[in-house]
Amino acid sequence: MRRKIIAGNWKMNKTRDEALQFIYAISEKLPSLDEVDSVICAPFPLLRTLSKRQGENLRIGAQNMHYADSGAYTGEISADMLTTIGVTYVIIGHSERRAMFNETDETVNLKLKKAFEKGLIPILCVGETLEEREKGHEKKVVKAQLEKDLEGLTKQDIEHLVIAYEPIWAIGTGRTATSEQAEEMCAYVRKVVKDLYGQVADKMRVQYGGSVKVSNIDEILSMPNIDGALVGGASLKAEDFVKLVEAGVNK
């Protein structure tokens, strides 16, 4: 059985003081990592602050990284910079980065390879726009993303990879995909990966993301191909984050 993984994506939110308040509020309250994986993906300046205090039941993730080891890339962050401060996960290819910061399937592919080389666990985001869904192209779009993003990875990489299916029209809009729509697409993500890499796709975890909150997470996680959630807005409140993680236990 695949253990559920609940990841908060804080995006560009929280100062150091706010992050400290959050981490003190959740410590002691999170279920153990044997039961569910819980991750907070925070802005770069907060990562060390959080990883120092993460405790046994929480892992820390970044929201992006560069694919080069080091060099003249002003403003960028390398995988080694993340691992050496206790970061375990990294979100790669979030739709906001694809839309606003020139992230392409080519850079996503390079970043995934580098993350695995350096021992980080990537959370790869894929998903279609509203226009693409209205034209009935969601599967075509997600398949094309996966084929390019995953090119050249090994079966071992796929086993550890986490993919977040995030329909762009459901992100930050309050408009969640129905649990049937989410299940259909998460199952499809697994099928595409299975066609590329074989049975190991059954071990890979697929999250749903897009307006997940305390009131809808149970239904979403009850679906057979949904192994967790990537949560933006609702992950910012300590109390809600604890509830979201608890929803991932024993499902």
Taking the C-alpha atoms of residue 186 and residue 181, their distance in angstroms, rounded to an integer, is 9
Taking the C-alpha atoms of residue 38 and residue 197, their distance in angstroms, rounded to an integer, is 27
Tell which one of 93, 122, 127, 232 touches ligand PGA (CB under 6 A). Answer: 232
Stretch near ligand PGA under the rule CB under 6 A, chosen from 15-23, 27-35, 205-213, 238-246: 205-213
Tell which one of 36, 58, 230, 242 touches ligand PGA (CB under 6 A). Answer: 230
What 3-state class would DSSP assign to 4? coil
Min dist. Cβ of residue 120 to ligand PGA (A) = 18
Q: Tell me which of 128, 138, 166, 183 is the catalytic residue.
A: 166
**Which residues are 40's β-sheet partners?**
8, 60
Using the Cα atoms of residue 240, residue 187, residue 133 and residue 219 in order, give the sign of their dihedral.
negative
Is 94 in the active site?
yes
Q: How many Cβ atoms from other residues are within 10 Å of residue 206's Cβ?
A: 27
Min dist. Cβ of residue 209 to ligand PGA (A) = 4
CB proximity list for 205: less than 8 A, separation 6 or greater: 2, 3, 4, 5, 161, 162, 163, 227, 228
Q: Are 209 and 171 in contact (CB under 8 A)?
A: yes
Min dist. Cβ of residue 189 to ligand PGA (A) = 15
Amino acid identity for residue 161 in this structure: L
**CB closer to ligand PGA, 230 vs 245:** 230
Positions 113 through 172 that interact with ligand PGA (CB under 6 A): 166, 171-172
Is 166 in the active site?
yes
By the rule CB under 6 A, 231 interacts with ligand PGA: yes
**CB closer to ligand PGA, 79 vs 177:** 177
Q: Annotated active-site positions, please?
A: 94, 166
Residues that bind ligand PGA (CB under 6 A): 9, 166, 171-172, 209-212, 230-234
